[in-house]
């Protein structure tokens, strides 16, 4: 049964305690060793780790065009249609994020500007394991494509038959992925960061993974850029007494089934609703094929918080800063401006989190573990870099010469000043 906390009786600090923080110390050394080995031995190391961790000895790492076409053809037509519809919505939303370069022309012929350029190669990690995430392919690859990335390199662990999920390969074809490799875990991140005989070195790595993948991304950051260190999945449902407890329970369980460390939280203004949702969660748990995972998540990290009113509920939501925030009330836009910290906000009683996961269009790669306080969902911005340019005539430089010299002298950087004044010496 989900734990219920009444804000009138329980200290806020107790309510906000997170029980799903992963301790990476036990895997740091192992991941560092894998990265070093892949740097030294390249493909040979990757093939060895694939055999060790995924139980299959591959003869080649790259997925062939024939394998992609075979997988695509094997998928149900309605599944392909659904992926295409999702891709269309994702493209429509992310196309609005494109930034333009600009130029400013000033006095005396000065020219200032900013160039927005795509990175050349992006690496996309797609998890294997208990769920095949075709949706993650679309959400990560399509913004890269829109940004103008010329090479999108997807890595994902193979099954024991040496094959990649047909759904993942179909999504990769739809999204325009250029290279696909049968690699998972820390060894895949190392291969993307440093390159091997088969796998190209990329400029940025995006996509979620397990603790080994997260630690590896942290360790290679600096050699390459990364999107974020993603924690376990989270949902916070903000509901009033008019909410349907059956729907609320289903929404909470939609995240609980992801991972034993996932966090599902209800914040409401009614003890009656809290108790009904707790009962309904228990009933629906028994119906889930992934009951064991979802139950472990609910028992360890699930909670129901009863606030005095919905505005106190909003305060609690902002403090938790959840990955997904549902506002299950009849007039959700009343509360939208008050929400300051959330990865993605789902408004009203007919916008379940799964809508955003799969089809609506906004990205589902979102900040977790409270990092929505300062970070944002994956976007086209993640796949571009910006550089500025400056042009001054001699007359324009003369007008600001003394200002530059004054600041340089204050900072005791004489060579800086001289690089300006020397241009005006006889």
| Active site (catalytic) residues | 323-324
Q: What would the DSSP string read from start to end of 368-381? A: -TTGGGT-----GG
Q: Are 21 and 211 within 8 A, CB to CB?
A: no
Residue 121 phi/psi, 5-degree rounding, is -135, 130
Strands 303-306 and 263-268: parallel
- What is the C-alpha to C-alpha distance for residues 410 and 420, in angstroms, rounded to an integer? 15
- What is the C-alpha to C-alpha distance for residues 193 and 204, in angstroms, rounded to an integer? 8
Please list, in sequence order, all residues whose beta carbon lies within 8 angstroms of the beta carbon of residue 132, skipping any fewer than 6 positions away.
Answer: 165, 167, 168
Question: How many angstroms from the chain centroid is the CA of residue 259?
Answer: 16
- What is the C-alpha to C-alpha distance for residues 256 and 233, in angstroms, rounded to an integer? 8
Strand order in the sheet with 234-239: 3-6, 303-306, 263-268, 234-239, 324-328, 344-347
> In 289-304, which positions are buried (b, 16+ CB within 10 angstroms) versus exposed (e)?
ebeebbbbbbeebbbb
């Amino acid at each position: 049964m989900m734990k219920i906390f009444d804000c009138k009786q329980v200290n806020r600090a107790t309510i906000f305690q997170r029980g799903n923080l992963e301790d990476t110390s036990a895997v740091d050394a192992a991941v560092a060793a894998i990265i070093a080995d892949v740097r030294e031995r390249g493909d040979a190391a990757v093939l060895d780790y694939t055999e060790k961790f995924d139980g299959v000895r591959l003869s080649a790492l790259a997925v062939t065009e024939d394998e992609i076409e075979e997988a695509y053809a094997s998928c149900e037509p309605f599944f392909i249609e659904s992926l295409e519809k999702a891709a269309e919505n994702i493209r429509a939303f992310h196309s609005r994020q494109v930034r333009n370069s600009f130029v400013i022309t000033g006095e005396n012929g000065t020219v200032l500007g900013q160039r927005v350029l795509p990175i050349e190669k992006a690496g996309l990690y797609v998890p294997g394991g208990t769920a095949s995430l075709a949706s993650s392919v679309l959400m990560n690859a399509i913004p890269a494509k829109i940004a103008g990335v010329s090479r999108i390199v997807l890595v994902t662990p193979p099954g024991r038959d040496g094959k990649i999920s047909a759904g993942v390969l179909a999504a990769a074809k739809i999204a325009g992925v250029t290279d696909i490799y049968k690699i998972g875990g820390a060894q895949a991140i190392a291969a993307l960061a440093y390159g091997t005989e088969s796998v190209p070195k990329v400029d940025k790595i995006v996509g979620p993974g397990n603790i080994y993948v997260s630690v590896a991304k942290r360790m290679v950051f600096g050699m390459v850029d990364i999107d974020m260190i993603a924690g376990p999945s989270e949902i916070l449902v903000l509901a009033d007494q008019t909410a349907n407890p059956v729907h609320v329970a289903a929404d909470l369980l939609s995240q609980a089934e992801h991972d034993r460390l996932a966090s599902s939280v209800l914040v409401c203004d009614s003890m009656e609703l809290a108790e009904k949702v707790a009962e309904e969660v228990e009933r629906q748990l028994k119906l889930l094929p992934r009951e064991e995972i979802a139950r472990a998540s609910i028992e360890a990290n699930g909670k129901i918080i009863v606030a005095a009113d919905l505005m106190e509920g909003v305060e609690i939501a902002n403090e938790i800063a959840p990955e997904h925030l549902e506002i299950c009330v009849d007039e959700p836009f009343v509360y939208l401006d008050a929400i300051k910290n959330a990865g993605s906000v789902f408004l009203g009683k007919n916008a379940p989190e799964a809508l955003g996961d799969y089809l609506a269009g906004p990205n589902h790669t979102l900040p977790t573990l409270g990092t929505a306080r300062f970070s944002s969902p994956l976007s086209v911005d993640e796949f571009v870099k910006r550089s500025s340019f400056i042009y001054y005539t001699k007359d324009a430089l003369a007008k600001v010469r003394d200002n530059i010299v004054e600041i340089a002298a204050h900072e005791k950087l004489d060579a800086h000043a001289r690089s300006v004044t020397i241009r005006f010496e006889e």
